[in-house]
Chain A
């Protein structure tokens, strides 16, 4: 019952002599296919390489103009955009700093986030219950799209652990908040993530908090091809004794797709040792400049209040 190895050409002589021409000849199974083994493997491999080459050509041909990483501003009132030369040149500069890991490192529960998030759901502008007034140096955010006009004194979300108020612009939605974090978005590709904790050490360097928490804020599993500016030390103001910022661009990826993403991270340390960090981000990266003016009030208002200026 085993399969014979014969081919039409190898039909035994005795069979050929006694079998009429119309009798079936033993066919190798290979004859029932158009292509040989070598041809199949060669065709598929060559076609794969060719398509890969096309992808490579597309990768070279469609390179966009780089988005400059000179948007880091001085939060807290005047929104001064720092001169580009005050930044390190854009590139793959690695986060630096050798300070002890800050408490925030363990407080951003990247792996425990799903355990018991205390989401408050959707908080509309005006329902945050933030007390205090805003810094006078910042322009009043303008509601757009027919949304409910926002009174700055009533737009915000509170980080309970430190009683730090995070400004929520009109038409933005708070997607998540817990005792240390506030995540909000505008539904048009802009996001802001704020965190705060008490370090207990006013000597904590803001820049070190940034560098120590880069992997938490921008998980390498999703934020690939990360390019950062150098950490920029900003001018302390009010009760803020240390403040720093960094700008970045990355290719966010997961199993369903990828997007280019551009953002900034600011961290301030107050004289009582309280730390406030705010990340602003926009998708896609090339639209960051256009969205930037809508993002800066979050920095100005929140850091202004954090510094006691509001």
Chain B
């Protein structure tokens, strides 16, 4: 069967083109219903794990989901008990720690774990501490105090300090976004990390690390408070902890992820500082500014903290949708372009040997960018899976089989691809 988009030959049973991912089963040629990163989900589905951890599979995503739920419950439990230093510290680092485990789990750092950990978490964290101290303690402490001094009972929004609003809701997010991008971009420029999904991952990691260290600075009074355990203001702290743990961390992460992903670009090698990068950097800044402006202005309304939390969730949802649509378009377009250029034998982002789809465990064709059964992009596979596909272990273009066939590496025995496929099908049965 010839793909209507890229004309690649596909087996008659294929639901998706193995080269460009086009749906071959009528009605959804644009694949709006099937997310290329995790085919069980729709593109516009607000699924957090597959959005920020694109290298997970449907099954491994569950691990992170349950880990975060369990940890989140423990953190909220500490909050309810009034153990604020414990709750704030754990909430600040929940997402970055989860991300660190994720990066190890999918072996994203490959041969450079130190560079990834130091570059993303330590260096970005150090920048975060410096920027936060500069704004909240060293230079603009009086303006920050002004934010605390005014309030609903003291004139409401009329008592708001406009300079303080500009400093903490506009200037700070701009500077912070630069700091979040620095080390993530440096990593994304390395040849082994030049895929858009890698860029996204590094951006999210840097953003969440920045958020964690910033939280430690801005909530430092919690650690220096005279009371270790409190029974006052628990409902307020629950909102704050939820914000720190989920909303702030992920807004920072997803926004930076979008910017760094566009630095990587959709095709071969990284795109660099293109207009698309600056546009998405602006989007990241805009999202952060919108978030903090909303938080600051809603603080003057009744239940201002809770409203700020809801506002943050709306911003986060928009950023998640942006990431999913961005990756969907990039993966499909890059595959079409690669298919148009050749048979895929030189494409380092398609399979080199026959293997099995990490998502649905059905057979992946050689030179495939997508699973013909579930439509998942092989670019969203873990590093181990990609290694099994021969994507990094075998030089591109060596011994590649004709597209659409099952090419086995040179072997002692000889068996036709049909036999191999039949064998596998039998095994399934």
Binding site for B on A (CB under 8 A): 1-4, 6, 11-12, 14-15, 18-24, 26-35, 37, 40-41, 43-45, 47-49, 51-56, 58-60, 62-64, 66, 92, 108-115, 117-119, 175-178, 181, 183, 185, 187-189, 191, 193, 216-217, 219-227, 249, 251-261, 281, 283-284
Contact = CB atoms under 8 A, between A and B. Distances in A.
B295 A56 contact: no
Contacts of B148: 222, 252, 259, 261, 283
B428 A4 contact: yes
A31 B384 contact: yes
Given A49-B90, A59-B85, A21 B412 contact: yes
A27 B363 CA distance: 10
Interface string B413-429: 11100011001101110
Interface string B300-324: 1111110011001000000000000
Contacts of A27: 355-356, 358, 361, 388
Contact of A41 (B67, B154, B225, B384): B67
B90 A55 contact: yes
A24 B353 contact: yes
A286 B135 CA distance: 20
29 contacts: A4-B361, A14-B427, A15-B423, A15-B427, A19-B423, A20-B415, A24-B420, A27-B361, A32-B385, A32-B388, A33-B60, A33-B105, A40-B105, A44-B101, A48-B71, A51-B90, A55-B90, A56-B85, A59-B225, A112-B156, A113-B155, A114-B158, A176-B150, A220-B232, A224-B230, A225-B225, A254-B305, A255-B248, A255-B309
Most chain A CB neighbours (cut-off 10 Å) among B86, B149, B222, B426: B149
Interface of B: 15, 57-60, 62-64, 66-68, 70-71, 74-75, 78, 83-90, 92-94, 97-98, 100-101, 104-107, 136, 141-142, 144-159, 161, 168, 218-219, 221-228, 230, 232-233, 235-237, 239-240, 243, 248, 292, 295-296, 299-305, 308-309, 312, 353-356, 358-363, 373, 381-382, 384-385, 388, 408-415, 419-420, 423-424, 426-428
A224 B71 CA distance: 25
Given A15-B423, A49-B74, A251-B233, 4 more contacts: A22-B410, A51-B90, A189-B142, A258-B221
A119 B87 CA distance: 39
A188 B222 CA distance: 22
A118 B85 contact: no
A239 to B, nearest CB: 27
A16 to B, nearest CB: 9
Most chain A CB neighbours (cut-off 10 Å) among B58, B153, B230, B412: B153
B150 A32 contact: no
Contacts of B359: 3, 29
Nearest to B242: A255
Contact of A258 (B141, B142, B155, B219): B219
Nearest to B381: A32
B89 A55 contact: yes
B158 A117 contact: yes
A44 B237 contact: no
Contacts of B354: 24
A56 to B, nearest CB: 4
A45 B67 CA distance: 6
B325 to A, nearest CB: 25
Contacts of A37: 60, 62-63, 66
A153 to B, nearest CB: 26
Contacts of B154: 113, 176, 181, 183, 191, 193
B108 to A, nearest CB: 10
A55 B94 CA distance: 13
Q: Top 8 A-B pairs ranked by shortest CB distance?
A: A113-B156, A55-B89, A224-B233, A59-B85, A117-B158, A20-B413, A176-B155, A257-B218
B222 A258 contact: yes
A189 B140 CA distance: 11
Contacts of A53: 86
A14 B86 contact: no
A26 B156 contact: no
A126 B361 CA distance: 79
A6 to B, nearest CB: 6
B387 to A, nearest CB: 9
A277 to B, nearest CB: 11
A44 B359 CA distance: 23
Contacts of B381: 32
Given A11-B427, A15-B426, A225-B227, A217 B63 contact: no
A58 to B, nearest CB: 4
B360 A59 contact: no
Contacts of B301: 111, 114
A52 B105 CA distance: 23
